Amino acid sequence: MNTSDYIKLEDQYGAHNYRPLDVVLDRGEGIWVYDTDGNKYLDCLSAYSAVNQGHCHPRIIQALIDQAQRLTLTSRAFRNDKLGQLYQMLHRLTGYDMTLPMNTGAEAVETAIKVARKWGYRVKEVASNRAEIIVCNGNFHGRTTTIVGFSSERQYKEDFGPFAPGFVNIPYGDSGALEAAITPNTVAFLVEPIQGEGGVMVPPHGYLKKVQQICHKHNILLMADEIQTGLGRTGALFACDHEGVRPDVMIIGKALSGGVYPVSAVLASKEILGLFQPGDHGSTFGGNPLGAAVAMEALAVLTEDGLINNAHELGEYFQERLTEIPSPYVKEVRGKGMLIGVELKPEAGGARRFCEALQDRGILCKETRQHVIRFAPPLVITRQEIDWALEHITIVLNMD
C-alpha cells in the first residue's frame, strides 16, 4: 500500500470529522515522525501538546510494556497497586490534596463541571438546579454535548443541540466582564490560561491574578483547564504558575501520559473533590493501572529530564527568532514557552497553505482557527533543531 491507498481507506470507511494534512505517519521518535514513504518531519504540533515528552519516549514505552504484561484493567470495583502511587505523585508534584482520574480531556472537564455544581449546592448552598458556570468566548474544552453547548464556535455546536443550560459566556481576558457576570447562583469560572485552540490567545498579564481575586471575593471556584497548557508546555509546570495563581480546580490530560495512552485528571482540595460519594461519578477505564503506570513515568520524564526548563528557555528563544523573521504576511507572534502562535494577516490567504508548504519542507504544523500557525514541538527539542526549523519557516513565510 502507498500513501494514497491509506488516505483512500480512511476517506472511504471513516467519518470525515477532521481535515488532516495528507501525510501518513507510521513511526515517531522524539521530535521526529516518519511517513510511509520514509520522509522525516519535525512534529510542531505534538498532538496538541499530548507528546510533550517526545514520541515513543523509551522510558514511558517501557513502563507501558512492563505494566501491560502484569495487569491492565481492574475497573474501580477493585483497587490496584498503581493508582494510589499516581495520586501521591501528583500530590507531591502539584500540592493538590486529591485527584480524580479519567481518560480524555473532555471527561475531565465534565468531571470538573460536576464537582463545581455539587460544591455549589452542598457548600455554597445555591438553590437546586440553579448553578451557573461562567466560561469564555473562544474557549475549547472538548467535544461532549454539554461542553460544545457553551462553545462560541458556530461549527462546534451547529446541529448538535439542544444543549445543557447553566453556562454563561463572557469575553476572554476581561476580568471586569467576569465580575459583572457573577450572580448569587454562580459556582465557578472555567478558563484556559492561554486559549490554545482559540488561536494561542494570551490574556493580558495580570488577568489570572485578578480573576483569582474576583473568584475568592465572590466565593466561586476558579477552574483552570490546563489540558493543553499544563505539564511544562509554557515553560512552567502550569501556565497559571507564571502569575503565581493557584486555581481551586486544576484539569489536566494530554501530556499526563506523554501521548502514549489517554489519561486525564481533576486535581483539587479535599473540601472540593471530597464531596464525591461512592457512585456519584465514575469511568470503567479511569484510574486503570496501565494508565497510572504510564502517567507516573511520563511525569517522571517531564521533571527529571528538565523538559519544563527547556520549554522555558528554548521556547523564549524560538519565539524571539520567529518575531525577527521579516515577512509580508505575519501580523503577530505570541505565546508562552513552547506554545507559540504566528497570526497571519488576512491577505495571506489563510494559514493552511503555509502549513502545506512547511510539510513539503519537513515540518508538520496545523492551522488553528483560520489565520494562526501554531508551533508547539515536543519539549525535548534542541536549539540546533529550532535553528533548522527557523530556516525553513523563514522561507515559507516569504513565499508568493
Ligand X SMILES: *Cc1c(COP(=O)(O)O)cnc(C)c1O
Residue 327 in contact with ligand X, rule: CB under 6 A: no
Q: Can you read off the three cell numbers belonging to residue 211?
A: 480573576
Q: For ligand X, which residue of 227, 256, 265, 339 counts as binding (CB under 6 A)?
A: 227
Task: Rank residues 104 and 175 by Cβ distance to ligand X and give the closer one.
Answer: 104
Task: Rank residues 109 and 322 by Cβ distance to ligand X and give the closer one.
Answer: 109
Task: Rank residues 53 and 228 by Cβ distance to ligand X and give the closer one.
Answer: 228
Task: Rank residues 28 and 253 by Cβ distance to ligand X and give the closer one.
Answer: 253
From residue 129 to residue 168, what is the string marking binding to ligand X with x (rule CB under 6 A)? -----------xxx--------------------------
Of 245, 301, 241, 290, nearest in space to 263 by CA: 290
Q: For ligand X, which residue of 120, 232, 247, 253 counts as binding (CB under 6 A)?
A: 253
Could you tell me which residues are beta bridge partners of residue 392?
none
From residue 172 to residue 211, what is the string marking binding to ligand X with x (rule CB under 6 A)? --------------------x---xx--------------
**Cβ–Cβ under 8 Å, residues 112 and 250:** no
Residue 225 in contact with ligand X, rule: CB under 6 A: yes
Site for ligand X in 89-108 (CB under 6 A): 104-106
From residue 38 to residue 57, what is the string marking binding to ligand X with x (rule CB under 6 A)? ----------x---------
Nearest-CB residue to ligand X?
105
Which residues are catalytic, by number? 140, 225, 254
**How near is the Cβ of 248 to ligand X at its closest, in Å?**
17
CB burial readout 385-399, b (16+ within 10 A) else e: bbeebbebbeebbee
**Cβ–Cβ under 8 Å, residues 251 and 224:** yes
**How near is the Cβ of 182 to ligand X at its closest, in Å?**
23
Residue 233 in contact with ligand X, rule: CB under 6 A: no
Which residues contact ligand X (rule: CB under 6 A)? 48, 104-106, 109, 140-142, 192, 196-197, 225, 227-228, 253
